[in-house]
Amino acid sequence: MTKQQRVQYLIAKLEELYPEVPIPLQHKDAYTLLIAVLLSAQSQDKRVNTVTPNLFSIADNPYDMIKLSVDEIRAIIKPVGLSPMKSKGIYGLSHILIDKHKGEVPDNFTDLEALPSVGHKTASVVMSQAFGIPAFPVDTHIHRLMYRWNLTNGKNVVQTEKDAKRLFPKELWNKLHLQIIFYGREHSPARGWNMDKDVIYQMIGRKKL
């Protein structure tokens, strides 16, 4: 297979397996998605989804969030890990949203990435899933699978994102990155991976080349 044939196979197979891809993190708007994605850093989505209902029942907007102290936020989000840093980030970005953006989450990378604790991956998720603007967030699943599929050299997530954007049609980015995540969790995990049952790897993986 040529690289383009591998890409076309991949797109078709993922669409067959995951015609519908719900966003894994529970949220209701751009702000709650931003907070949920921030909380998901180095934590599983399932764990985040056990914490956010309690947090959002108290504060689901920046105006209510800043009524809480950093310590109060930390106590609520503690189960997801890295709570000291994340609580400060949530409190700080909520203030900035009020002071600079009229309480609204900005819909551009520059302003999003200027917020405390918001990196490029978090900003990409918000851009793609909250605003529908094409982006290709690269998490550990996508980084691992793109390397296994020989679609990137695996040096770092920055290079993986560049390769993904170069290989995949822009209109598919927002759905495709979720499809890859779902596939990685179910069929191509980091631990306990059975390559013989990984149908995409068997077709286009590195061992075939």
Cα distance between residue 93 and residue 88, in whole Å = 8
Burial zone of 155 (CB within 10 Å; 0-12 exposed, 13-18 middle, 19+ buried): exposed
Q: Would you say the C-alpha torsion 177, 181, 184, 186 has a positive or negative sign?
A: negative
Q: What is the largest CA-CA distance in the chain?
A: 57
Residues 6 or more apart in contact with residue 110 via CB below 8 angstroms: none
Cα distance between residue 172 and residue 20, in whole Å = 13
Is the separation of the CB atoms in 199 and 183 below 8 Å? no
Q: Which of 45, 60, 107, 139 is catalytic?
A: 139
- Quick check: is 139 catalytic? yes
Cα distance between residue 101 and residue 44, in whole Å = 30
- Quick check: is 29 catalytic? no
Cα distance between residue 199 and residue 201, in whole Å = 5
Residues known to be catalytic: 121, 139
